[in-house]
Structure 1
């Protein structure tokens, strides 16, 4: 069932409110307000917002070009392939090409290029690509930004985007490198050699496949030469220099297993190129590319060195990498994660549970009770405190907008109480994430000076908790009797 806030935004959006239309698009994209994630609907509302801004500009409104630029940048976050067939797909197509071919380097430009690459040349979208050619022909007169509307030419342009992204420092570089590996040419000779290796374990065929540039063959050959493939039947001595050569070639192709194997080779005392610093660099690269064991190793190393590193909250980086390894099912990561992060997955066992229930009721009936902004903020603080079992000082003083990290909550109130050490707490449920998201939006839009100093916050806490108990405990009791 749609939330009241969502329905309010929907109503404003239908009346042509540009801000509401963009908020609605964001809700369909992120799932805010308990909205089902529907990229096609997000794109439709962004198109409506675009036309609203354009119409306002024609009527003499200022800052139209700035609004359009911001809207197009927002559009870049939409997975374009998932909107094919939507009435607004043409708008998305033009917007993405406009951003992708922009001369200004930006995150939005990289995002647009990656979405076009994913749509046009990723094998997982082959069915869409077959239909796309016909769609381009039918809609040729309304398509902009692209000089050549031939699908083959567009796919070549997308391949250029892919190469640029793989060599960039953008967040899409890793995905681009992985896709490049998938798209490596597989001519008949290479396919034949690989088949011979897989069926007969023919060493010569494996070497030839590696020499022809097959990343998987380079990796396997390097692992076998270093005796890191688990093959106990290999009788020849490991040729670590040759192994490092092949693994470096595979690593340059973006293979994370190759980076991890290189890290192990550089740690071997018998290797003439022994280099602990280079080994750590290779392990770090493997971790960045998503290698689970490398992530655990990096996290454990950061945890051991936490006293020596300059980090605002000790253990935060370490916990992130250990958490990443845990997400991939590494059993050892769970034990270490529990040492670094506090855990409180069941809010019913926490001290603020009953009060948090009352606070949620107050927020759900906000219009009825007409809560002041400072009371509204405190109600959200109580709910978060219950989800993560905060102390009273943490409840009152935590900086809500800076609490959430991808994997945990970082509570640091030393700005007011220097002797209280920061805490890292795992985020373990959807309920916890929703509480953080709801509070984050309210605090982002609020004037935080209204909360006042610690003495004022304590006084307000007593007021709000007394009102919550008086108001909702009575309602709860009457409901139980009835």
Structure 2
């Protein structure tokens, strides 16, 4: 049975509320509100949101451009292959090609290239690919991009393979997946398969060496690991470690993250003649970049130890990112270190702004009814965010809302006005926190930067707005507001 919150969002989405349509799509992608994960339905609602934004008046082109950019980022993360039978597939197909062919490469463009490559050339989707050929031949909605309009399916597959090769050669979260698919697409080598199977079935050492010499990445890694045998002891000889490093370096050049990590361990061994702490760190960093969880923790911990010497604008931000990545992959030790770097405030009911934030959110949802001026509306968004992340009053009034959100945390830096107040890093832990940031980001993106004024003006406005919120919603409307925000 659908939750009350889901039904409320669904109702608003059906009435054309752009933010509600995007929230609904997010629910279908993540399973929020106990919603079944259905990428096809997510794409349908993002298509509706796209046309809702496009149909807005052109008075504020900057705001529309920002909203569409945010929507493209959301669309690019949808697994296109799972939406093939969706009514919105034509919209997704067109949009993914547009994103892939963007002049400026960003995360949405790279994600689109991966989704197209995965759909068009991944051998596990051969049945869908054959159906896609028929769809392209029959459909009248094939994208009219100059780059692909005259291409047949084989040419599209070649273009998708070029995308895959490009992704495998750059550093991005998709690099590992791209390399794995490229390996899967390599022609089958019966001799290599036979040698590898001989190792798996019979533990034939000679077969393992031959497979490694013939270029099989997993054989290079396996041979390097066997020669290294890093079990915590220091008894391994230098000669054996040099041989291990040789094979691991070959596997690492193929993009194997485990090989990079073990190389980092070897370069730290005191009995290894090539001992080099700087090279060890470089190998760990490379493994972390490729998604190795333990390497991500080590990289984060190393950055945290050296934070005082770091030249980054907000100390600890890079360290927190890598430790958070390790924590996301289930590394137990990362949780304790993350708690030292990032503040946590998931329980908004214990914050001093809780009651006022409820009134502010009610005012935002009914701003047309109350005829709120833009500067008052922006302050209401500030109050909601302040409650979600337990800001001080100074942080509430002065934070740069457009620069708050990072992938894993909020950075509160008000030194531009109060130099002695150090920045704070606060972990983003709930869906409500992300929604508040998204809504505020959209509101501030389309506003005049000068409308909020200086600190004195903001304090004066804060007093007026809070008095109005309390007077308007604390009596009579309080129960209604609580019910809507539950």
Question: Does the alignment reach a TM-score above 0.5?
Answer: yes
Say whether the 8 Å CA contact 1:227–1:238 is kept in structure 2.
no
The match for 1:160 among 159, 162, 165 is 162
Distance 1:430 1:257 in 2: 33
The equivalent of 1:120 in structure 2 is 120
* Secondary structure in structure 2 of the residue aligned to 1:257: helix
Say whether the 8 Å CA contact 2:173–2:290 is kept in structure 1.
no
Distance 1:358 1:159 in 2: 53
Q: Kindly indicate whether residue 152 of structure 2 is the aligned counterpart of residue 149 of structure 1.
A: yes
The equivalent of 1:348 in structure 2 is 349
Question: Aligned-pair distance for 1:358?
Answer: 1.5
Judged with a 3 Å threshold, the aligned counterparts in structure 2 of structure 1 residues 305 and 129 are, in CA distance, closer, same or farther, namely same
| Unmatched runs of 5 consecutive residues or more in structure 2 | 1-6, 482-486
Distance 1:100 1:318 in 2: 31
TM-score normalized with structure 2 length: 0.80
Say whether the 8 Å CA contact 1:80–1:115 is kept in structure 2.
yes
Question: Aligned-pair distance for 1:366?
Answer: 1.9
Aligned residues: 449
Judged with a 3 Å threshold, the aligned counterparts in structure 2 of structure 1 residues 29 and 250 are, in CA distance, closer, same or farther, namely farther
More displaced stretch, 467-476 vs 399-408: 467-476
CA shift digits 1:52-110 (9 cap, x unpaired):
99xxxxxxxxx9xxx9xx99x959836432332345545654665577578x5644765
The equivalent of 1:395 in structure 2 is 396
* Secondary structure in structure 2 of the residue aligned to 1:293: helix
Judged with a 3 Å threshold, the aligned counterparts in structure 2 of structure 1 residues 314 and 85 are, in CA distance, closer, same or farther, namely same
Question: Aligned-pair distance for 1:6?
Answer: 4.2
Question: Aligned-pair distance for 1:161?
Answer: 3.0
The equivalent of 1:311 in structure 2 is 312
Say whether the 8 Å CA contact 2:348–2:387 is kept in structure 1.
yes
Structure number with greater CO (CA < 8 Å, separation at least 6) is: 2
Say whether the 8 Å CA contact 1:409–1:425 is kept in structure 2.
yes
Question: Aligned-pair distance for 1:443?
Answer: 1.1
Q: Kindly indicate whether residue 249 of structure 2 is the aligned counterpart of residue 248 of structure 1.
A: yes
The equivalent of 1:131 in structure 2 is 131
Distance 1:122 1:43 in 2: 25
Distance 1:400 1:47 in 2: 24
CA shift digits 1:342-378 (9 cap, x unpaired):
1111001111111111212222222222211111111
The equivalent of 1:444 in structure 2 is 445
Say whether the 8 Å CA contact 1:296–1:321 is kept in structure 2.
yes
Judged with a 3 Å threshold, the aligned counterparts in structure 2 of structure 1 residues 465 and 51 are, in CA distance, closer, same or farther, namely closer
Say whether the 8 Å CA contact 2:412–2:423 is kept in structure 1.
yes
Judged with a 3 Å threshold, the aligned counterparts in structure 2 of structure 1 residues 140 and 479 are, in CA distance, closer, same or farther, namely closer
The equivalent of 1:59 in structure 2 is none
CA shift digits 1:169-214 (9 cap, x unpaired):
5664343223223334443332232222223222222222222322
Distance 2:114 2:341 in 1: 36
Question: Aligned-pair distance for 1:407?
Answer: 0.9
* Secondary structure in structure 2 of the residue aligned to 1:419: coil
* Secondary structure in structure 2 of the residue aligned to 1:343: coil
Distance 2:193 2:257 in 1: 23
Judged with a 3 Å threshold, the aligned counterparts in structure 2 of structure 1 residues 121 and 460 are, in CA distance, closer, same or farther, namely same
Say whether the 8 Å CA contact 1:225–1:238 is kept in structure 2.
no
The equivalences for 1:176-215 within 5 A come to: 176-215=178-217
Question: Aligned-pair distance for 1:124?
Answer: 4.5
The equivalent of 1:57 in structure 2 is none
| Aligned residues: CA RMSD | 3.7
CA shift digits 1:18-66 (9 cap, x unpaired):
xx8xx8986776569x99964542675599799999xxxxxxxxx9xxx
Question: Aligned-pair distance for 1:413?
Answer: 0.9
Question: Aligned-pair distance for 1:262?
Answer: 0.9
Question: Aligned-pair distance for 1:476?
Answer: 5.3
Say whether the 8 Å CA contact 1:28–1:41 is kept in structure 2.
no
Question: Aligned-pair distance for 1:404?
Answer: 0.8
CA shift digits 1:365-397 (9 cap, x unpaired):
222222111111111111111111111111111
Distance 1:46 1:360 in 2: 22
Say whether the 8 Å CA contact 2:114–2:174 is kept in structure 1.
yes
Question: Aligned-pair distance for 1:168?
Answer: 3.8
Say whether the 8 Å CA contact 2:238–2:273 is kept in structure 1.
no
The equivalent of 2:476 in structure 1 is 475
The equivalences for 1:21-60 within 5 A come to: 38-41=41-44
Say whether the 8 Å CA contact 2:94–2:142 is kept in structure 1.
no
Judged with a 3 Å threshold, the aligned counterparts in structure 2 of structure 1 residues 400 and 83 are, in CA distance, closer, same or farther, namely same
Judged with a 3 Å threshold, the aligned counterparts in structure 2 of structure 1 residues 196 and 235 are, in CA distance, closer, same or farther, namely farther
* Secondary structure in structure 2 of the residue aligned to 1:409: strand
| Unmatched runs of 5 consecutive residues or more in structure 1 | 11-19, 54-62
Distance 1:372 1:98 in 2: 38
